[in-house]
């Protein structure tokens, strides 16, 4: 318990921690919260068969595996801040395009969205985890990433709730797609505000209790 809160206290004193928390909040909002919860109901609004919509969501999951592995490979070779900016920026643009390609049948545009969103879904995890190591050190990184991941779950809950409420109020998910798109573009800008990773030698590693 002490190690957990020591890591939180350390992270809270540094901007990269809050930048990663904010970006992962948006990640949860735009994936588990919005897409995983509301994609099938959203396609139903356009008359798409539920089984067809479920197949598309499953395809997002399949391409997610490829995207995550590829992102791990890239994380070892490219600045993680740039990767995150690319992932969040691309996700935001894709969400802006979604209302124009979603419909009762699968179009080329909708296939493009499904493939891209799948590749991008968990691609944010390897660079986020790498930045936790680079900014806070290997011994602290697991606990720090745990706190960052908590913001992902909060974002997922907030995104799912707002999208559902907006659907009830407006009869459409269009506003929800646009809000998530703006948040993703904001997250892309936020991660670029972090300076080059540097672990301060003066920061003692938290000691396990007992």
Domain ranges of the chain: 21-191
pLDDT of residue 198: 61
Q: What is the pTM of this model?
A: 0.91
Cα–Cα distances in angstroms (integers) from residue 162 to residues 54, 139, 170, 176, 187, in the given order? 22, 37, 12, 8, 18
Residue 53 neighbours by CB under 8 Å, 6+ apart: 39, 40, 43, 44
Give the CATH superfamily of 21-191: MFS general substrate transporter like domains (1.20.1250.20)
Total Cβ atoms within 10 A of residue 174: 16
| Percentage above 90 pLDDT, the chain | 85
Mean pLDDT across 153-161: 98
Distance from C-alpha of 175 to C-alpha of 79, rounded to nearest angstrom: 33
Statement: residue 154 has pLDDT above 60:
yes
Statement: residue 19 has pLDDT above 50:
yes
pLDDT digits (tens, 9 = 90+) for 119-135: 999 999 999 999 999 99
Mean of all residue pLDDT scores within the chain: 92
Q: Are 196 and 107 in contact (CB under 8 A)?
A: no
């Amino acid at each position: 318990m002490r190690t957990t809160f020591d890591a939180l206290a350390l992270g809270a004193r540094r901007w990269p921690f809050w930048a990663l928390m904010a970006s992962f909040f948006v990640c949860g909002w735009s994936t588990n919260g919005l897409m995983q919860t509301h994609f099938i109901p959203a396609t139903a609004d356009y008359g798409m068969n539920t089984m067809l919509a479920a197949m598309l969501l499953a395809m997002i999951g399949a391409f997610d595996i490829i995207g995550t592995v590829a992102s791990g490979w890239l994380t070892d070779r490219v600045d993680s801040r740039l990767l995150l900016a690319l992932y969040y920026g691309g996700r935001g643009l894709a969400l802006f395009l979604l209302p124009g390609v979603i419909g009762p049948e699968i179009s080329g545009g909708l296939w493009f969205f499904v493939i891209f969103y799948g590749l991008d879904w968990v691609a944010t995890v390897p660079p986020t985890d790498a930045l936790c190591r680079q900014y806070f050190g290997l011994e602290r990184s697991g606990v720090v990433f745990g706190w960052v991941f908590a913001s992902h779950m909060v974002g997922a809950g907030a995104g799912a709730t707002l999208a559902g409420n907006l659907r009830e109020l407006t009869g459409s998910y269009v506003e929800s797609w646009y809000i998530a798109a703006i948040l993703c573009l904001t997250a892309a800008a936020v991660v670029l505000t972090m300076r080059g990773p540097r672990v301060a030698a003066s920061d003692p590693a938290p000691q396990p209790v007992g």
